[in-house]
Amino acid sequence: MSLPFSVAAATAEIAGSDASFPIRRIFCVGKNYADHAREMGGDPTREPPFFFSKPADATVAATAGIAMPPRTDNLHHEIELVVALAKGGTDIAPGDAAACIFGYAVGNDLTRRDLQADAKAGGRPWDMAKGFDRSAVLSPIRPAAEIGHPTRARIWLSVNGESRQDGDIADMTWPVAEIIAELSTYVELKAGDLIYTGTPAGVGRIVAGDLVEGGIDGIGTIANRFT
Ligand code: MN
Protein backbone atom coordinates (compact mmCIF):
# COMPACT_ATOMS: atom_id res chain seq x y z
CA MET A 1 0.00 0.00 0.00
CA SER A 2 1.08 3.55 -0.45
CA LEU A 3 1.09 5.65 2.70
CA PRO A 4 -0.35 9.18 2.69
CA PHE A 5 2.73 10.58 4.43
CA SER A 6 6.51 10.37 4.40
CA VAL A 7 9.08 10.68 7.20
CA ALA A 8 12.45 12.28 6.57
CA ALA A 9 15.50 10.47 7.94
CA ALA A 10 17.62 12.51 10.35
CA THR A 11 21.01 13.54 8.99
CA ALA A 12 23.99 15.67 9.96
CA GLU A 13 26.32 17.77 7.84
CA ILE A 14 29.85 16.58 7.11
CA ALA A 15 32.37 19.41 6.94
CA GLY A 16 33.77 19.93 3.45
CA SER A 17 31.50 17.35 1.84
CA ASP A 18 28.18 17.16 0.02
CA ALA A 19 27.56 13.81 1.70
CA SER A 20 25.45 13.77 4.84
CA PHE A 21 25.83 11.58 7.92
CA PRO A 22 22.73 9.47 8.64
CA ILE A 23 21.85 9.70 12.33
CA ARG A 24 20.72 6.43 13.91
CA ARG A 25 20.66 7.21 17.64
CA ILE A 26 21.91 9.98 19.94
CA PHE A 27 23.50 8.95 23.22
CA CYS A 28 24.68 11.37 25.89
CA VAL A 29 27.04 11.03 28.84
CA GLY A 30 26.20 12.67 32.17
CA LYS A 31 28.76 14.25 34.47
CA ASN A 32 31.95 13.49 32.54
CA TYR A 33 33.99 16.46 33.78
CA ALA A 34 34.80 16.61 37.50
CA ASP A 35 34.20 20.38 37.76
CA HIS A 36 30.70 20.01 36.23
CA ALA A 37 29.87 17.00 38.45
CA ARG A 38 30.71 19.18 41.46
CA GLU A 39 28.62 22.15 40.27
CA MET A 40 25.63 19.77 39.90
CA GLY A 41 26.06 18.56 43.48
CA GLY A 42 27.80 15.29 42.66
CA ASP A 43 31.03 13.69 43.77
CA PRO A 44 33.22 12.98 40.73
CA THR A 45 35.35 10.53 42.66
CA ARG A 46 32.44 8.25 43.50
CA GLU A 47 29.90 8.59 40.68
CA PRO A 48 30.73 6.93 37.36
CA PRO A 49 29.36 8.65 34.24
CA PHE A 50 25.94 7.43 33.10
CA PHE A 51 24.01 7.53 29.84
CA PHE A 52 20.78 8.97 28.50
CA SER A 53 19.39 9.49 24.99
CA LYS A 54 17.86 12.07 22.70
CA PRO A 55 15.74 11.29 19.63
CA ALA A 56 17.71 11.07 16.36
CA ASP A 57 15.76 14.01 14.93
CA ALA A 58 16.48 16.32 17.89
CA THR A 59 19.52 17.83 16.18
CA VAL A 60 19.62 21.45 15.06
CA ALA A 61 22.30 23.06 12.89
CA ALA A 62 25.25 24.98 14.31
CA THR A 63 24.15 28.35 12.92
CA ALA A 64 20.36 27.97 13.07
CA GLY A 65 18.08 30.35 14.90
CA ILE A 66 16.40 28.42 17.71
CA ALA A 67 12.98 29.25 19.12
CA MET A 68 12.89 29.04 22.92
CA PRO A 69 11.49 25.58 23.72
CA PRO A 70 8.13 25.34 25.50
CA ARG A 71 7.49 24.20 29.10
CA THR A 72 10.67 25.64 30.63
CA ASP A 73 11.76 28.77 32.49
CA ASN A 74 15.35 27.57 32.80
CA LEU A 75 16.88 26.44 29.50
CA HIS A 76 20.58 25.60 29.97
CA HIS A 77 23.53 25.27 27.60
CA GLU A 78 26.04 22.39 27.77
CA ILE A 79 28.91 22.60 25.26
CA GLU A 80 30.18 19.10 24.38
CA LEU A 81 32.47 17.07 22.14
CA VAL A 82 30.35 14.83 19.91
CA VAL A 83 31.60 11.53 18.49
CA ALA A 84 30.07 10.13 15.28
CA LEU A 85 30.38 6.40 14.67
CA ALA A 86 31.11 4.66 11.36
CA LYS A 87 30.71 1.23 12.93
CA GLY A 88 29.80 -0.25 16.28
CA GLY A 89 29.41 -3.51 18.09
CA THR A 90 28.91 -4.85 21.58
CA ASP A 91 31.55 -5.15 24.31
CA ILE A 92 33.98 -3.04 22.27
CA ALA A 93 37.46 -3.01 23.81
CA PRO A 94 38.81 0.50 24.50
CA GLY A 95 41.67 -0.25 22.14
CA ASP A 96 39.22 -0.96 19.31
CA ALA A 97 37.08 2.14 19.87
CA ALA A 98 38.99 4.57 17.65
CA ALA A 99 38.41 2.28 14.65
CA CYS A 100 34.65 2.78 15.16
CA ILE A 101 34.81 6.58 14.93
CA PHE A 102 33.85 8.39 11.72
CA GLY A 103 34.51 11.86 13.07
CA TYR A 104 33.99 14.58 15.66
CA ALA A 105 31.70 17.57 16.05
CA VAL A 106 30.76 20.30 18.52
CA GLY A 107 27.42 19.97 20.28
CA ASN A 108 25.23 21.87 22.71
CA ASP A 109 23.19 19.47 24.88
CA LEU A 110 20.30 21.87 25.54
CA THR A 111 18.57 21.05 28.81
CA ARG A 112 15.29 22.13 30.41
CA ARG A 113 17.01 22.30 33.81
CA ASP A 114 13.79 22.95 35.72
CA LEU A 115 12.18 19.81 34.29
CA GLN A 116 15.37 17.86 34.97
CA ALA A 117 15.37 18.99 38.61
CA ASP A 118 11.71 17.94 38.92
CA ALA A 119 12.52 14.56 37.35
CA LYS A 120 15.46 14.00 39.70
CA ALA A 121 13.36 14.94 42.74
CA GLY A 122 10.49 12.71 41.66
CA GLY A 123 12.58 9.76 40.50
CA ARG A 124 11.12 10.19 37.01
CA PRO A 125 12.75 9.88 33.54
CA TRP A 126 14.75 12.70 31.97
CA ASP A 127 13.24 12.40 28.49
CA MET A 128 11.23 15.64 28.54
CA ALA A 129 14.15 17.51 30.17
CA LYS A 130 16.72 16.37 27.63
CA GLY A 131 15.08 14.89 24.55
CA PHE A 132 12.87 17.71 23.30
CA ASP A 133 12.72 19.11 19.76
CA ARG A 134 15.88 20.97 18.65
CA SER A 135 17.66 20.02 21.90
CA ALA A 136 20.87 18.77 20.24
CA VAL A 137 22.83 21.54 18.53
CA LEU A 138 25.38 19.94 16.21
CA SER A 139 28.19 21.40 14.09
CA PRO A 140 29.24 19.77 10.82
CA ILE A 141 31.16 16.55 11.52
CA ARG A 142 34.93 16.63 10.89
CA PRO A 143 36.10 13.22 9.64
CA ALA A 144 38.77 11.53 11.77
CA ALA A 145 40.47 10.69 8.47
CA GLU A 146 41.30 14.41 8.28
CA ILE A 147 41.81 15.51 11.89
CA GLY A 148 42.78 12.28 13.67
CA HIS A 149 41.51 11.60 17.20
CA PRO A 150 41.93 14.75 19.32
CA THR A 151 42.50 14.15 23.03
CA ARG A 152 43.47 17.69 24.07
CA ALA A 153 41.67 20.79 22.83
CA ARG A 154 40.04 23.88 24.31
CA ILE A 155 36.24 23.62 24.62
CA TRP A 156 34.38 26.87 25.26
CA LEU A 157 31.00 28.57 25.20
CA SER A 158 29.96 32.20 25.50
CA VAL A 159 26.60 33.94 25.76
CA ASN A 160 26.39 37.39 24.13
CA GLY A 161 30.19 37.43 24.06
CA GLU A 162 30.58 36.70 27.78
CA SER A 163 32.50 33.52 28.66
CA ARG A 164 30.42 30.86 30.41
CA GLN A 165 32.29 27.58 29.86
CA ASP A 166 36.03 27.19 29.19
CA GLY A 167 37.69 23.81 29.58
CA ASP A 168 39.71 21.17 27.77
CA ILE A 169 38.52 17.83 26.43
CA ALA A 170 41.62 16.33 28.09
CA ASP A 171 39.75 16.81 31.39
CA MET A 172 36.98 14.32 30.61
CA THR A 173 36.66 11.81 33.45
CA TRP A 174 36.12 9.02 30.95
CA PRO A 175 37.91 9.50 27.62
CA VAL A 176 36.13 8.74 24.34
CA ALA A 177 37.50 5.19 24.01
CA GLU A 178 36.25 4.25 27.48
CA ILE A 179 32.84 5.85 26.84
CA ILE A 180 32.41 3.77 23.67
CA ALA A 181 33.57 0.62 25.50
CA GLU A 182 31.24 1.17 28.45
CA LEU A 183 28.22 2.22 26.36
CA SER A 184 28.65 -0.87 24.17
CA THR A 185 28.14 -3.07 27.24
CA TYR A 186 24.59 -1.64 27.55
CA VAL A 187 23.54 -1.47 23.87
CA GLU A 188 24.83 -2.53 20.49
CA LEU A 189 26.37 0.53 18.88
CA LYS A 190 26.09 0.98 15.12
CA ALA A 191 27.10 3.27 12.29
CA GLY A 192 25.16 6.52 12.51
CA ASP A 193 25.27 6.76 16.28
CA LEU A 194 26.23 10.09 17.86
CA ILE A 195 27.63 10.32 21.39
CA TYR A 196 27.53 13.64 23.29
CA THR A 197 30.41 13.18 25.73
CA GLY A 198 29.51 15.54 28.59
CA THR A 199 30.11 19.18 29.46
CA PRO A 200 32.66 21.10 31.55
CA ALA A 201 31.65 23.46 34.36
CA GLY A 202 29.80 26.70 33.77
CA VAL A 203 26.41 25.54 32.52
CA GLY A 204 23.85 28.30 32.72
CA ARG A 205 20.64 29.86 31.57
CA ILE A 206 19.73 30.95 28.04
CA VAL A 207 16.97 33.52 27.50
CA ALA A 208 15.26 34.80 24.35
CA GLY A 209 17.56 37.09 22.38
CA ASP A 210 20.78 35.41 23.51
CA LEU A 211 23.54 34.57 21.05
CA VAL A 212 25.16 31.32 22.18
CA GLU A 213 28.57 30.73 20.60
CA GLY A 214 30.95 27.89 21.30
CA GLY A 215 33.55 25.63 19.88
CA ILE A 216 36.31 23.10 20.23
CA ASP A 217 39.68 24.07 18.76
CA GLY A 218 40.40 22.08 15.60
CA ILE A 219 36.89 20.62 15.40
CA GLY A 220 34.35 23.38 14.85
CA THR A 221 32.13 26.11 16.18
CA ILE A 222 28.45 26.83 16.86
CA ALA A 223 26.60 30.16 16.93
CA ASN A 224 22.87 30.04 17.63
CA ARG A 225 20.53 32.98 18.24
CA PHE A 226 17.61 32.10 20.55
CA THR A 227 14.31 33.79 19.76
MN1 MN B 1 25.25 17.03 28.70
Ligand 1: distance of its center to the CA of 199 in Å? 5
Is residue 120 in a domain? yes
pLDDT for the residue 44: 74
pLDDT for the residue 46: 60
pLDDT for the residue 139: 98
Is residue 2 in a domain? no
Ligand 1: distance of its center to the CA of 203 in Å? 9
Rounded Cα distance, 80 and 182, in Å:
18
Ligand 1: distance of its center to the CA of 107 in Å? 9
Is residue 61 in a domain? yes
Rounded Cα distance, 174 and 27, in Å:
15
Is residue 190 in a domain? yes
pLDDT for the residue 42: 81
Q: What percent of the chain clears pLDDT 70, i.e. is strictly above it? A: 99
Ligand 1: distance of its center to the CA of 117 in Å? 14
Is residue 3 in a domain? no
Ligand 1: distance of its center to the CA of 6 in Å? 31
pLDDT for the residue 34: 87
Q: What is the pLDDT of residues 132-167, one digit of tens each?
A: 999 999 999 999 999 999 999 999 999 999 999 999
Is the entire prediction scored with pTM above 0.85? yes
Is residue 1 in a domain? no
Question: CATH code at 44?
Answer: 3.90.850.10
Ligand 1: distance of its center to the CA of 1 in Å? 42
pLDDT at 35 over 70: yes
- Residue 49's pLDDT band, with cuts at 50, 70 and 90, is confident
Ligand 1: distance of its center to the CA of 148 in Å? 24
Say if residues 117 and 43 touch (Cβ distance below 8 Å).
no
Ligand 1: distance of its center to the CA of 4 in Å? 37
Domain span at residue 205?
11-225
Is residue 167 in a domain? yes
Helices (H) and strands (E) counted in the chain, each on its own, are 6, 17
Is residue 49 in a domain? yes
- The residue type of 153 is A
Ligand 1: distance of its center to the CA of 173 in Å? 13
Rounded Cα distance, 60 and 134, in Å:
5
pLDDT for the residue 48: 72
- Residue 171's pLDDT band, with cuts at 50, 70 and 90, is very high
The number of distinct structural domains making up the chain is 1
- Residue 197's pLDDT band, with cuts at 50, 70 and 90, is very high
Span 167-191, average pLDDT: 96
Ligand 1: distance of its center to the CA of 2 in Å? 40
Ligand 1: distance of its center to the CA of 189 in Å? 19
Ligand 1: distance of its center to the CA of 215 in Å? 15
- Residue 43's pLDDT band, with cuts at 50, 70 and 90, is confident
